Amino acid sequence: MNQNPQPTALPEAMRASVLKEVGVVVMEERPVPTPDADQVLVRIESVGVCGSDVHYYQRGRIGDHVVRGPIILGHESAGTIVAVGADVDPSRVGQRVSIEPQRCCRVCKYCKRGEYNLCPHIEFYATPPIDGSFAEYALIQDDFAHAIGQDMSFDAAALLEPLSVGIAAVRKAHTGVGDTVLIAGAGPIGAILAQVARAYGASTVVVTDPVEQRRRTVLKLGATEAYAPGDVALDGRTFTAFFDATGVTAAVVDGIKRVEPGGAAIIIGMGDDDMLLPVAYITSHEVNVTGVFRYNNTWPTAIELVTSGKVDLDSLATDHYGLADAEVPLRGKPAPTTLKSMVHPQR
């Protein structure tokens, strides 16, 4: 902690990038929020653009979550604590933190058993109607502002959030030493999954993606092999675990059919709400099929994986924008060279 925090003169107003309706983002001036007793105020330095942000911008909804009014997008974020609530240690002012962007009730059965991501009362950044962090400042509960070291960049600290998704997925698959893994999709989540699977002991990590540039990149970030979907090199091969990071039905079905008996298929990608899955194969091979809904209790592991050098997040931060240009990476399909677009609200 910062043992000698200096008082910070906070402005009364801040800039925020606000989604007004589908396909319409405007810059607004809003009051700088005041922390509740258990909260801290973070000066946001870096925010990763997630596929969910793109979905809300382009479609206005993800499943049952519908944009019905103005909302600030962005949930992969990091920055510096500049103010604290009455119940928070004031020495936290000045601390560099990565934000776990959710607030749970802490009393329901899911919270009490540690699965607080399933809390029915969860408030999650940038999920309607909760504002996110495409703004100069944001609030979070004290214990969900995770301290990071001086050697970790704010970009990497922001990307501890998607890294947490990867950790949650690999934990669900019970990936361990010597396992073989197939990953569909070499975007940011696929690249993260490859690194996490290797960190957890997988000896073979195969990634499929139609984009050659992404296949080359993921080979530098943990994958042992990378192919275009349907490559003959995959013929007849099975794997301990399959992870889908595409949301494409064909990729999900193909991946499930490549899981060995008793293995796991983890669906992460956002695609069609409903899919026809190979139930006969799933039942006859006892494939454990499940999804991943965010994460819980992952930040300590995520921080350790990055600080130990087992996971490289800085290499994922390929494109950078100031707050006034936060809409740009939401508009269209990213370039083959893009892994993560980062928004920097102080620019």
pLDDT tens by residue, 94-137: 999 999 999 999 999 999 999 999 999 999 999 999 999 999 99
* Residue 109, domain extent: 13-159+313-344
Q: What is the pLDDT of residue 337?
A: 87
In a domain, 6, yes or no: no
| 4 domain residue, yes or no | no
Residues 145 and 171 in one domain: no
Q: Report the run of H or E that residue 213 belongs to, with start and end.
A: helix 212-219
Residue 142 within any structural domain of the chain: yes
pLDDT at 7 over 60: no
Residue whose pair of structure tokens reads 């947490």 in the numeric block:
164
Tell me whether residue 2 is in a domain: no
Q: Are residues 141 and 182 in the same domain?
A: no
Domain count of the fold of the chain: 2
Q: How far is CA 108 from CA 121, 125, 330, in A?
A: 9, 20, 35
pLDDT score, position 8:
58
- Establish if 318 belongs to a structural domain: yes
Q: Please write the tens of the pLDDT for every residue from 29-58.
A: 999 999 999 999 999 999 999 999 999 999
CB-based burial label for 235 (10 Å; 0-12, 13-18, 19+): exposed
Cis omega (within 30 of 0) on the bond before 188? Answer: no
- Residues 238 and 277 placed together within one structural domain of the fold: yes
Judge whether 251 lies within some domain. Answer: yes
10 Å CB burial of residue 333 (0-12, 13-18, 19+) is: exposed
Domain co-membership, 232 together with 284: yes
Q: What does the DSSP 8-state code read for residue 32?
A: P
> Of 100, 82, 98, which is closest to residue 90 (Cα–Cα)?
82
Q: Are residues 127 and 255 in the same domain?
A: no
Q: What's the whole-model pTM score?
A: 0.95
CATH code, domain carrying 18: 3.90.180.10
5 pLDDT higher than 80: no
Region 6-16: mean pLDDT is 83
188 and 266 together in one domain = yes
Q: Is 89 found in the same domain as 50?
A: yes
CATH number, domain with residue 223? 3.40.50.720
Same domain for 228 and 328, yes or no, is no
Same domain, 187 and 287: yes
190 part of a folded domain: yes
* Residues 193-245: tens digit of each pLDDT: 999 999 999 999 999 999 999 999 999 999 999 999 999 999 999 999 999 99
Same domain, 221 and 336: no
Q: Is residue 305 part of a domain?
A: no
Answer yes or no: do 119 and 186 share one domain.
Answer: no
Whether residues 20 and 129 share a domain: the answer is yes
